[in-house]
Amino acid sequence: MTVELKLDINKKLLISGVIAIVILAFIFWGNFSGPEASVFGGDVIKVEGNNVSLEGFYMTSDGAEYAILKAESNAEKRTVTAEITPQTQFAKTVFAIPDLESGQIFRPSDLNRETMPGSLEELERERPGVFVIASKNIFGKSKFEIIKVEYVIPIFPE
């Protein structure tokens, strides 16, 4: 009876240990699987067909990649290729900049903005700074498909 009881306790301890190791492995994997980013922010370098070459930074959910790279004096921007698909949406925001020669002080957040559909042709012509958004993790990838392109076009007084 004592031998059977010891075997039952040893089995329970072994099973408990295995379960604890599995749980710890999941926690470890979740914390150290690497950064995730579905957004890349940067400048348009060129447009070739449905590919947009960008130079900029990955935008991690906590902003760490962008903040770290901006803070480093010798940080290099990443160059990536974003693939435009038929499902890719373009969102352009326009706003008018007041006449700066008048000496009027303004806050950019107070300017009237309007968001409207954009286009690949406009990206090629204007080459604005953009945010491209993917449906999955793109961190560290040099080429990826995007589902949305967001950019801003300021309108300056004549």
pLDDT tens-place string over residues 54-103: 999 888 766 555 555 554 444 568 899 999 999 999 999 998 888 777 77
Helix (H, G, I), strand (E, B) or coil at 143: strand
pLDDT band at 16 (very low <50, low <70, confident <90, very high): low
- What is the C-alpha separation between 80 and 102, in angstroms, rounded? 41
> Is 90 in the same domain as 118?
yes
- What is the C-alpha separation between 102 and 3, in angstroms, rounded? 95
> Is 17 in the same domain as 75?
no
> Is 139 in the same domain as 103?
yes
> Is 10 in the same domain as 50?
no
> Is 5 in the same domain as 70?
no
Q: Total domain count for the chain?
A: 2
> Is 55 in the same domain as 112?
yes
pLDDT band at 48 (very low <50, low <70, confident <90, very high): very high
Pick 14 or 153 by higher pLDDT: 153
pLDDT of residue 72: 47
What percentage of the chain carries pLDDT values higher than 90?
40
> Is 95 in the same domain as 52?
yes
**What is the domain range of residue 45?**
37-155
> Is 27 in the same domain as 41?
no
> Is 52 in the same domain as 16?
no
Average pLDDT, the chain: 80
> Is 121 in the same domain as 91?
yes
For 118-142, how does the pLDDT look when each residue is reduced to its tens digit (9 = 90+)? 999 998 998 888 999 999 999 889 9
Cα three-residue angle 108-128-117, rounded to 5 degrees: 85
